[in-house]
Amino acid sequence: MITLALSKGRIFDEIMPLLAAAGIEVLEDPEKSRKLILATNQPDVRVVLVRASDVPTYVQYGGADMGVCGKDTLIEHSAEWGGAARAGLFLPLDLRIARCRVSVAVRSDFDYEHAVRQGARLRVASKYTAIARDFFATKGVHVDMIKLYGSMELAPLTGLADAIVDLVSTGNTLKANHLVEVERIMDISSHLVVNQAALKLKQAPLRRIIDAFASAIPPAEGG
């Protein structure tokens, strides 16, 4: 049995053409069912639905043989374990799906340039603390990091933080909350993550899926 860990939403929707290239069709719609284990048209392949940030954990401990998650999630997980390889994770493919960016955003009336130039301490709220810490350390800006798990846009609006580091796609969420994107930290896309031990034990079926995904990755430019 091959177990693939996915999260609902954009990643699930955008991985479907790649699964189809591997001849795999998920037999249930996760938006219509409460099931967490979904069968596929291939009796030896199943999908488990987990939170995006839990995908590397499932793959690391063998709860899934492979999974799909954003580069943001992989960087945060790897920072905890001293690298993806040390967590027993193999990252063979950038799938170039669910693309977005990690950016710094502030209230539209906050003078970010001045705050950064002055070398003042910046209070930064984020779920992506490893990415944020690294980014501001490279800039030589001192930050007080506040870990949040969601609704980061609220932090500058309530005075909890001066800035947030969050995923941005269209920018509509920032705009709706009167926040402005002041720096783009990195582009994000989803990657395939594979359990290294599983790759040895189930080499042929896993390689077949990896190769099929590789052949169906969307083109590099655009989006």
Residue among 114, 116, 166 at smallest CA distance from 141? 116
Binding mask 82-121 for ligand AMP (x = CB under 6 A): ----------------x-x---------------------
Pairing, β 66-70 against β 190-195: antiparallel
Specify the 3-state DSSP secondary structure of 63. coil
C-beta closer to ligand AMP: residue 12 or 136: 12
Q: Cα(156)–Cα(160) distance, rounded to whole angstroms?
A: 6
Identify the residue among 5, 66, 104, 168 touching ligand AMP (CB under 6 A).
Answer: 168
Q: Which stretch binds ligand AMP (CB under 6 A): 26-34, 57-65, 170-178, 203-211?
A: 170-178
Q: From the list 49, 110, 157, 173, which residue makes contact with ligand AMP (rule: CB under 6 A)?
A: 173
> Residue 10 or residue 96: which is nearer to ligand AMP going by CB?
10
Cβ proximity to ligand AMP, 39 vs 91, nearer residue: 91
- Rounded alpha-carbon distances, angstroms, from residue 40 to 2, 24, 48: 11, 6, 11
Per-residue mark of binding to ligand AMP, 142-161 (x: CB under 6 A): --------------------
Smallest CA-to-CA distance from 157 within 208, 198, 106 is with 106
Helices assigned H by DSSP within 54-141: 55-60, 71-81, 112-117, 129-139
Q: For ligand AMP, give the closer residue by CB, 115 or 164.
A: 164
Distance CA 222, CA 9 (A): 21
Using CB under 6 A, pick the residue from 170, 200, 204, 222 that binds ligand AMP. 170
Binding site for ligand AMP (CB under 6 A): 10, 70, 98, 100, 166-173
